[in-house]
Amino acid sequence: MHTDEFATQYESVYKDHVMLLEKIRELEVVLEKKHKHAKTSRRVAVGFLAALSLPVVAIVVVAASNPAFGMAGQAGEKSFEKMKKIYELTKKVENSKETLLGLSLLIGNRTEVNIEAMKTIKSLVEC
């Protein structure tokens, strides 16, 4: 009687683990795409910010050499601060996507280990 009950419960848990593993692998594909997109977005933002910084650098250099442009130097510094914040934000987004991907890989690997352990337990019970 216990073996029938074990077999029923085993099949149920085994199916749940296999289904969980399939869902995790699907999630990994989605997260890999999002991570790749975040990485590309950060690179585009860096390029865009670099292009925007050239005129700001020119203004700061002119402002430093000519006291009449004193306020322009301050505006340039504020622009650099905003550019730095944008870069840091895009880096945080990329890092969060990478963390989620790492967690899903870990969960998937642990689920595979659980499935293998279940197979071992089943073979020991059947002996």
Tokens matching residue 118: 């279940």
pLDDT at 93: 94
Place 1 in a pLDDT band, splitting at 50, 70 and 90. very low
Total H helices, total E strands in the chain: 2, 0
Burial 94-103 (b: 16+ CB within 10 A, else e): beebeebbee
Measured in Å, how far apart are the chain's first and last C-alpha atoms?
A: 16
Place of tokens 């594909």: 29
- For 55, residues 6+ apart whose C-beta sits below 8 A from its C-beta are none
CA-to-CA distance for 69 and 83, rounded, in angstroms?
Answer: 21
pLDDT tens for each residue of 39-50: 999 899 888 888
pLDDT at 16 over 80: yes
Q: What is the set of domains in the chain, with CATH numbers?
A: 2-126 (1.10.287.950)
At 71-124, the pLDDT tens digits run: 666 666 777 788 889 889 999 999 999 999 999 999 999 999 999 999 998 888
pLDDT for position 68: 62
What are the residues whose beta carbons fall under 8 Å from the beta carbon of 60, sequence distance 6 or more?
A: 72, 73, 76, 77
Using alpha carbons only, how large is the chain's radius of gyration in Å?
Answer: 28
Question: Which residues have CB under 8 Å from 36's CB, separation 6+?
Answer: none
Mean pLDDT, to the nearest integer, of 4-19?
Answer: 90
